[in-house]
Each structure stands twice: as C-alpha cells, then as structure tokens.
Chains A and B, each alone.
Chain A
C-alpha cells in the first residue's frame, strides 16, 4: 500500500484514472484502517500466529520426548499421516458423525423452528425451554449422556432394556450412535434458532397469497418456505458442519477414542498431548484446518452462488 511517495506530478497525472476517490474519501479510508488496526493486530496475534507456527512445526521433526533431536523434515510428517490407515479411518469416523448428526439436526431443527414460529401461546417459554440443551457445557452434557448410557447405572438400559443388555461403549457402532445422539441433543436448538431467524424474515403475505393460489400446507413449505430459507439453511449447515467436524468433547468423555471411535480432533490431541509428537500432531492440525477450509468453500460456492439476492427476500 505504502510504496515510496510518487512525485506530485505523477500523482496528479494518475488522478483522473482513479475515479471516485476524493480527498475526503481517502481520508475516510485511512481512518477506517486506523480504526480496524487494533482488531487486526489481535486477530494476527491469536489466530494467524498459531496457524503459522503450526505450519512451521508440521514441517519439522519435533518430539518433546527428544527435545534435542529433530530438524527440518519437509513433507515427511504429512506423508506419514496420509499414508497411515488410522488417519483415513479417523477421517471416515469424523465424516460419519458429521453427516449423520447434521442431517438429523437439520430435520429436527426445522420442525422445532416451525413449531416455535407458529407457537400461539407461551412463545417465550417455548423458545427458552428449547434452548436449554444448548446452554449446557458440552463436557457436562457428554458426561450426562455417558452416565445415562452406562450399562449398570444409566437410565437408558434400566428403563428401556435390562441392565446387562447392552454395553453401549463396548463396540464402535453403538458408541458412535451415542456420540451422535449427544451431539444432536445438544446442538439441535442452535440449528433451530438459526432456522427460526430465517423463517421470521419470510413475509406472511406470501403464505396468504399461496393459500389463495391453492397451495396446500406441504406445497407452501416446499415452494415458499424452503426456497426463501435457503440462505438461512446454508448458514446453519455451514456452522454446524464445521462444528461437528471438530467433534472432541463427547468422544473424549465417552470413549477416549477406544473401540476405533477416534475423530480427527482426538487424533490430533493424541499426537500432540499424549505422545508429545509436535511435528506429527501439527501436521494433523494443518490437515484438519485444510479440510475445514474445503468444507466451507463447498458450502459457500455450492449454496452461496444460488442464494437469491438479499433485497428480493425483503
């Protein structure tokens, strides 16, 4: 931006080409940058620096158990991770949890949003009570469901099955089911809230028009509600997918990754904290970061491109 100050004449000659930026406009832009500067600085400190440092670490052989060894490793860490069967299994687990839980959350969230939107009495009470699970700390919720599904002490087996019937955390399938269940229970309200925000922007008059035009309730939902909620649905899906992809707490509390239930975050944690292999762990972190970027890109391009112009919806 701040290249060497050009000679006055040159600046004057260039002026006509740069249309629109008056003296006042430039001063305003400068002020804008100055006002943003503190925030930009903090952002760089807390996000850009750690990301950059992780990137550096991932290219080195760093193991805290042997602090004096190591050095530049190139892409060795990445090759190790990507060529390991464990990594791909963990990625599969994570995607499985993400896709299933987000789909269920979307459907349940939509139903809850419609109910909240149409609630005639006790609107405030309904909305508040629906939000309670989201207000509970994830670790606490994970423990609650862990105890609920524990074979001897939990209410699930004692109420619906016999105590010894099922060891939920004894095998991969049922353990992942409980993890997904806990995720859905906790974050559906968030999904519902995002969808409700989209729902309230739709003009009631459109529904009246559609009713007069002969549309049934289902046709109104499919032809009016869904298309007009597309931006809200896209945002809700994006948020929840990225969130679900980083699932950690529930698995950590319930299985610690046993029975092959590791997610990518658990794997990264294992490498970094349990095994103190900073190089390998950083490579996993960078790969997670890249995958999150790809998911976000797909959502923004896939949905964002066809999102109807904001002004049309109003």
Chain B
C-alpha cells in the first residue's frame, strides 16, 4: 500500500502532442481514485505512466515516497488490469494467476496458497484448470483481477476493466471491484470513460479533458459544485441542461423568466446557465418551500418513461447555449451526428405520474436556486470566482476517506 503523487507530470509524444499536461495529483494511501473523461483526454496515458508502460516526459512520479520515473514497471510493485484483460492464452487460470508470483521466485507452497486465496476471493475455485479461451467475459475479468491481487502490490491500476462486459454484468462487477478494494484496502487508480462508474466507485474522481485535470473531488461534490462547464456537462446522466442567459444587478434572465443569481456570482453580462434535469418538475407536483422557483409553459417534444421517473424533453424560446466545452461533450457523446443537435432543447426528470406527453404543453416548475452559471468564454463556474481551471483539486482536499476496514492479509 502506498501513496501515489504526481508533480507536474507531462507526456509529450515525439510528434509534439501533449497527451497529459502538467498533472498534479495526490492519491492517498488506500484511496480509490478514478480518472474519468472522454476518449483522448489522456486518462489512460496518465495511468500507463504510473504503471511505467509510458515514459514520463516531464515532472515527477512518486509511489510510496520514492520517485519512480526511471524505474521499470516490474520495479514499481504495482499490478494492473487491462481493458483486454491480457490473459496469457497458453496458461490455465491457475498459471495465469500464479505468473507474477512465479516470476518473483515464490516457493511452490506460497504460490499454491496465494493462488487459492485469490481464487476464493474472486470465486474462481472451480475454474482454475481452464484455459482463458474457455471462460466467459466476466470470468476472464475476474482472472485478470486475480492476477493483480495475488501479489499484494502497493497499488492496483485498472484501465477500463469493465468496458468489455455487457451492461448487466458491468453493474455486477462494479460492486465486485468495490468490494475487493474495500477488503484489501489497497490504493487503486481506475480509469473509465463511464461517468456512472466514476460516480459509484470512487472515493474521489479526477475529471480530465484534453490532457488537463479539470477537477478532483468526491463524486457528490463534482455533481453539486462543478468547477466548470465541462465537468458540469460530463458528470450526471442525463446531462445537465445549458441555456444562454444574462446576469445584471444580481438577477439572471433565463429563457423561462428571471431569477436571483446564485450566491457568489458577481459578474454581469452574457453567461451560460446550467440546471440538472431533476431540478425541473411538473408544476402540479412541485415541492413546497422553494423561494427561487419559476414556472413556465413547456412544449413537450418527447417523453421517456423509466418507471420510477419520466424524462420529458421540451423546447424553449431563444437559441441553444454555445461553447467549446459543450461542443466537445456533444462530440464525445456522438450527439453532433443527430439531426436534433444544437436545438434549444432541455430535459426534465419528472414525477412518473406526470401527464406530460409528446405534443402537449404543460406547466413546468424549476428550482432556480440550483442554477449554475458559467463563463461562456472559458467555461469556469462564476460562483467559484476565479477563472483558472482547478488543476490542484487533490491538494486542496482534506485527507481522503479511509477504506472500510477489512482483512488486509493476503
């Protein structure tokens, strides 16, 4: 177990592109840290630099208090689970799991006992003599985990370990990963492009964009207090709604009406306003006791019933909010190819008893107290005051949560 510290870590490829720029991050001992971001944001490169599979162009990487920039992967005492699992196809499950131990020169008894221990934790007992080709996706994933945990390393690195599984299995394995991390209490760095995984798994989540760390915080803080437009749009499903707005004299003018600006916003002029889908409601189901509520008429374009809630897509007057961050998010989600992209449309999460249906216009309630306002040029959250994206979120944080107590013995 160990802390991992990144100090100005940069990855520059021979052609000059910078995949990771000046990354500063402290990952605490036993912490479950998630790197999340759209594809090409540098999260996997950052992980591979920690693993030693990519050279570090600039900056310093510490694992367990020692600078390891120039150490080979095998000398860093870390274990990694790959997206492809990278199981050795010619070896049985037992030999796959035993591989790192045998390489390290462990005795036969030690190998046997540790492999069996790992197999028990991962429920692989009955599969030990099979070859990887004869395993299902989920089983292969568990073997890859077994190969990682058997060595009792200082840290686990996971590169999108669940992305090759089908949706149902992914949810199941997510809890499994969480359980194992809590049981072993080992520092874990986990890369994913799936914000749901990021939100449910991590002690803290590092959101990256184009090689730059955008914000490092607990999942709830990321959700409630995004540093900028990108984080706001990336975290949350369905994504936050964005509208063009104007701030003057402490009042925000929205396409739906006027509301007081959130606390801490001193700017004036054009801004981008953001509101999460759950901060809308049908006027008839509107919760009591909100001072900053607005109501307005919303023409419904489409409804999606989820059973426990209903998503209603509605249009509003005026154009859609525009910014580079939003365009990038839309591109990452593949929305730019849709005919409806760029339209002034928003989504509301409504009570399932709503009468909203396609083509209808219903009275909509919104909680303007939950508004986020962003600078339309650099995207920073106006309530936070400063314009630079917070790259050192990790350092400002108090010490990370300790993992739930569990057996640490291998």
Contacts and interface: CB of A to CB of B under 8 A. Distances in A.
Interface of A: 203, 205-206, 208-216, 219, 223-224, 227-228, 230, 308-309, 311-314
Interface stretch (B84-92, B194-202, B208-216): B84-92
A211 B84 CA distance: 15
Contacts of A309: 131, 133
Contact of A308 (B53, B80, B89, B157): B89
A230 B91 CA distance: 13
B137 interface: no
Contacts of B104: 214
Interface in B68-95: 72-74, 78-80, 82, 84, 86-90
Given A216-B74, A312-B131, A205 B82 contact: yes
Given A308-B89, A312-B131, A313-B89, A213 B103 contact: yes
A312 B132 contact: yes
B89 A228 contact: yes
Mostly, the A contact residues are: helix
Contacts of A211: 52-53, 72-74
Closest A-B pairs by Cβ, 6 of them: A209-B86, A312-B133, A214-B74, A205-B86, A312-B89, A213-B100
A219 B103 contact: yes
Contact of A227 (B72, B79, B86, B90): B90
Contact of B103 (A203, A214, A308, A311): A214
B256 interface: no
Interface string B238-275: 00000000000000000000000000000000000000
Given A208-B53, A311-B133, A312-B132, A215 B86 contact: no
B51 interface: yes
Interface of B: 51-53, 72-74, 78-80, 82, 84, 86-90, 99-100, 103-104, 131-133, 147, 151, 157
A212 B78 contact: yes
A213 B90 contact: no
Contacts, number: 74
Given A203-B86, A213-B79, 4 more contacts: A208-B53, A213-B151, A308-B89, A311-B133
Interface centre among A206, A213, A223, A314 (most CB of B within 10 A): A213
Contact of B90 (A212, A214, A312): A312
B266 to A, nearest CB: 50
Contacts of A209: 80, 82, 86-88, 147
A183 to B, nearest CB: 32
A214 B51 CA distance: 11
A213 B133 contact: no
A205 B133 contact: no
Nearest to B89: A312
Nearest to B90: A227
Nearest to A314: B89
Contacts of A219: 103
A205 B44 CA distance: 14
Contacts of B53: 208, 211-212
Contacts of A206: 86, 88-89
A308 B91 CA distance: 10
Nearest to A207: B86
Contacts of B100: 213-214
A223 B98 CA distance: 13
A227 to B, nearest CB: 4
Nearest to A311: B133
A260 B51 CA distance: 61
B89 A215 contact: no
B279 to A, nearest CB: 44
A96 to B, nearest CB: 33
B84 A212 contact: no
A45 B214 CA distance: 75
A150 B375 CA distance: 86
A212 to B, nearest CB: 5
B46 to A, nearest CB: 16
B136 to A, nearest CB: 14
A208 B53 CA distance: 7
Nearest to B83: A205
A313 B88 CA distance: 9
Contacts of B147: 209, 213
A35 B80 CA distance: 52
Nearest to A202: B89
B318 to A, nearest CB: 50
Contacts of A205: 82, 84, 86
Contacts of B103: 213-215, 219
A208 B44 CA distance: 14
Nearest to A209: B86
A293 to B, nearest CB: 29
A215 B74 CA distance: 7
Given A211-B73, A312-B133, A203 B51 contact: no
Contacts of B132: 312
Nearest to B150: A213
17 contacts: A203-B84, A209-B147, A210-B88, A212-B74, A212-B79, A213-B74, A213-B100, A213-B147, A214-B74, A214-B103, A216-B74, A219-B103, A228-B89, A228-B90, A308-B89, A308-B131, A312-B90
Contacts of A230: 90
Interface centre among A211, A214, A224 (most CB of B within 10 A): A214
B288 to A, nearest CB: 56
Contact of B99 (A213, A216, A228, A308): A213
Contacts of B131: 308-309, 312
Contact of B73 (A203, A212, A227, A228): A212
A46 B235 CA distance: 71
Nearest to B102: A223
A127 to B, nearest CB: 22
Contacts of B99: 210, 213, 215, 223
A208 B82 contact: yes
A208 B86 CA distance: 8
Contacts of B79: 212-213
Contacts of B89: 206, 228, 308, 312-314
Interface centre among B86, B133, B151 (most CB of A within 10 A): B86
Contacts of A203: 84, 86
